[in-house]
Amino acid sequence: MRPVLVLNGPNLGRLGSREPDVYGTLTFDDLERLCRETGRALGLSVDVRQTDDEAELIQWIHEAADTRTPVVLNPGAFTHYSYALRDAIAQRTAPLIEVHISNPHAREEFRHTSVVAGVATGTIAGFGFRSYVLALQAIADTGE
């Protein structure tokens, strides 16, 4: 099975209790289970991780680049200002799909800018947890 990292940034570990009107009531454990089950169905070995630490997220992106591992990335708030994360993503050696549970463009003005989108393979947003499913399908379809 082809390995894939599903990486999640700050506050995503609080899914289910964090702004349920925006992010829903499903938990991070539910998301993890969905990603692994979807991966298995697509022939992918999915490793789901979450951190509130920018440095740790960057290390995981470096790990993916060094091993040519595709990534599904929800950078959380780092989306809007982390040029360090953007620079790490620019070193990618396999597909990297930026995902968001909500649609950032339908929310506050500061969420409309993604500093990482320009170095990602693509972006999927606004489909709830299905955004992750669509990203995993895209990675499976690339065959890289």
**Binding-site residues for substrate:** 74, 80, 87, 101-102, 111
Reduced to 3 states (helix: H, G, I; strand: E, B; else coil), residue 114 is: coil
Q: Which residues of 98-108 are buried (b: 16+ CB within 10 A; e: fewer)?
A: bbbbbebeeee
Residue ranges of the binding site: 74, 80, 87, 101-102, 111
Catalytic-residue membership of 62: no
Question: Please, is 55 exposed, middle or buried when counting C-beta atoms within 10 Å of its C-beta (0-12, 13-18, 19+)?
Answer: exposed
Out of 100, 105, 112, 132, pick the active-site residue: 100
Is-catalytic flag, 112?
Answer: no
The active-site residue, picked from 23, 62, 105, 112, is 23
Active site residues: 23, 100
